[in-house]
Amino acid sequence: MKALRQVIELHVKTEFSKRQIAAAAGVSRPAVADYIAAYERSGIAWDDFSKLTDIEAIERLSAPQEPADGRLATAVAFFPRMLTELPRIGVTREILWNEYRLLDPEGFEYSQFCHHFRVWCKAETEVTLSMEHKAGDRMYVDFSGAKRTYLENGVEREAELFVAILGASQYTYVEAIRSQRIEDFIIANRNALRFFGGVPHAIVPDCLKSAVTKADKYESEINIDYAGFARYHGTVIFPARPHSPRDKALVEGAVNIMYTRILAPLRDRRFESLDALNDAIGELLEAHNAKRFQRFPYSRTDLFESLDRPALRPMPVVPYEYTHTKTVTVGFNYHIELREDSHFYSVPYAFARKSVDIVYTARTVEIYHGTLRIAFHKRVFVHGYSTLPEHRPAHHSFHLDWTPERLISWAGSVSIHTRSLVKAILERAAYPDQSFRSCVGIINLSRKYPIDRIDTACRIALAEGALSYQAVKKILMKERDLILSADDAKQRPLPFHGNLRGQAAYQ
């Protein structure tokens, strides 16, 4: 306010140019021009103006003035219509000027008409941003700086406030989410598109890490998961340039409004869950979108229904499901590992030791080599292996005819301890092929060694927890089973016989 008074005083009491006044007052030349124009429109003398309080001075300078020129009055009456028509696809200022001239054949020429429209827009700041955006063209997204608390399992947590706004209508969506992590961020974007009921031509995020991996003034690097989300919906990510607030002025304005219309009314309320917080936000959000603009007889909802909704592209038939993407190297056993589940999935054996991309959701796992999908699995959330028969090399095919039950039954035909050892190996197995090989190897040892030695060796392996083919083989090679058999023989009582004499015969 001090700068405004200084500008007007210099204008009235000196012959300084606007450039000189700007330098003396430390403000920009356009601001000086606006201050002087507002003062001259007010028609108040400097002596009277200098006695006004700051609030009174602002009210006098910002009070709307009746146009003195009849042509200007007609044009000003036409300008509100331009705000609703310019965002429509194909509508230009020249088209609207021609319509204006039909109403006032003696009206302004095109250049004057556009000049007065720009001046009028500066005064009507509440909705002027929308005229720069075409219907259905862009959705701006951002996070507010403020957070809101809620309870989760009795623990107080802070929720991020996600805001999305459509350019033409300023129709707004707000959601409280757990964090700014990529998964929460993408789900919030998906919920915003569902709320709007369609897809814009582009989504404009700020340069946050969940959206932009590497920010650049000319060509930012988009997060791979966020780019996949955009492709699925048939739109593109067009991030704001770093340090360019004008690129996202619309959503920043919406965030400021959210502070007063949503966060402030909720400041003293306690929420037992994130869903309860979002329910409360939804009620206030509906009222915000339905609220009429201060100087115009329509609301954001009205503009959305007439401008943005008809221009949005349809949503996909199948709802989007968040996908994770990882790049890994296939193991020598032609399986890849999804570490969060400790589960392994097979790929065709020809891709062993090659780099592949895993794309997975809560239900499925897809594996790509370049752009070629080489494997598809149902996601399993427990430790283990998912192996498709067609992925095995030819020399592994003999395993396809074997089942754990069949192996256990075959081992039982050798001996009781062989059966117990095979069963234990299968129950502990992490990789089916490897366990099958071990079991077959143990059973086939009966071709080289007597059954009683196999049984004893398996008993020793079980007792020592050495559940493998190699363990049994070493026991047999080192003849540990024979030592155990000899010890058993020494401790075994002699059978009763009539010709045997006891201790009493020698007393």
Cα dihedral 401, 406, 410, 411 sign: positive
**pLDDT value, residue 496:** 53
Question: What is the model's pLDDT at position 260?
Answer: 78
Query: Tokens in use for 63?
Result: 């009070």
Residue 432 CB neighbours (<10 A): 16
For residue 108, the 8-state DSSP code is -
Identify whether the C-beta of residue 141 lies closer than 8 Å to the C-beta of residue 204: yes
**In 3D, which of 32, 42, 28, 43 has the Cα closest to residue 5?**
32
Query: What residues have CB less than 8 Å from 55, skipping those under 6 apart?
Result: none
DSSP 419-453: HHHHHHHHHH-SSHHHHHHHHHHHHHGGGTS-HHH
Closest to 254 in 3D by CA, of 142, 132, 124 = 142
* CA 231 to chain CA centroid, nearest Å: 14
Task: Give the pLDDT of residue 278.
Answer: 93
Token readout for 161 is 């406030």
Q: Which two tokens stand for residue 146?
A: 């403020």
Residue 54 and residue 1 in contact, taking contact as beta carbons nearer than 8 Å: yes
Nearest CA to 307 out of 167, 117, 197 is that of: 167
Q: Measuring CA to CA, how many Å separate 376 from each of 60, 262, 369? A: 71, 45, 12
Residues near 281 by Cβ (< 8 Å), separated by ≥ 6? Answer: 174, 175, 176, 262, 266
Helix (H) or strand (E) holding 329: strand 324-329
Check: CB of residue 240 under 8 Å from CB of residue 218.
no
Q: Please name the residues in contact with 201: beta carbons below 8 A apart, sequence gap of 6 or more.
A: 136, 137, 138, 235, 236, 313
- CB-based contacts of 10: which residues, under 8 Å, 6+ apart? 16, 21, 24, 25
DSSP-derived 3-state class of residue 203:
strand
pLDDT of residue 277: 92
Exposed/middle/buried for residue 318 (C-beta within 10 Å: 0-12, 13-18, 19+)? exposed
Pair of tokens at residue 477: 């090679």
Cα–Cα distance measured from residue 382 to residue 363, given in angstroms and rounded to the nearest whole number: 13
Q: What one-letter code names the amino acid at 81?
A: R
Its pTM stands at 0.50
Alpha helices in 46-150 (DSSP H): 46-50, 54-62, 70-85, 93-103, 110-123
Q: Cα torsion at 55, 83, 132, 92 (round to 10°)?
A: -140
Provide the CA 144 distance to its chain's centre, in angstroms.
17
Q: Write b or e for each residue in 172-181: b if 16 or more Cβ atoms lie within 10 A of its Cβ, otherwise e.
A: bbbbbbbeee
Q: In terms of Cα–Cα distance, which of 143, 211, 154, 201 is closest to 177? A: 143
Q: What is the pLDDT along the chain (507 residues), one digit of tens a residue?
A: 567 777 787 787 777 788 888 877 777 888 778 778 877 777 677 777 777 776 667 666 666 555 556 788 888 888 877 877 777 766 788 888 888 888 888 888 888 888 888 777 765 544 444 445 788 888 998 888 788 888 887 888 889 899 999 888 889 999 999 888 888 899 999 999 999 999 999 898 887 877 887 767 667 788 888 888 898 899 988 887 665 555 555 656 667 777 778 888 888 888 988 999 999 999 999 998 998 876 667 788 988 998 889 989 999 988 888 878 889 999 877 889 898 888 889 999 899 889 999 988 878 899 999 889 999 999 887 778 888 988 887 655 555 556 678 888 888 888 999 999 998 888 887 555 557 778 888 988 988 899 999 999 999 999 988 888 889 999 999 888 888 766 665 554 545 555 555 555 555
**DSSP letter for each residue of 70-86:** HHHHHHHHHHHHHHHHT
Q: What is the pLDDT of residue 355?
A: 94
CA dist 224 to 72, 190, 227, 318, 328, Å? 52, 16, 5, 21, 15
Please count the other Cβ atoms lying within 10 Å of the Cβ belonging to residue 104. 16
Q: What is the pLDDT of residue 498?
A: 56
CA distance 301 to 306: 9
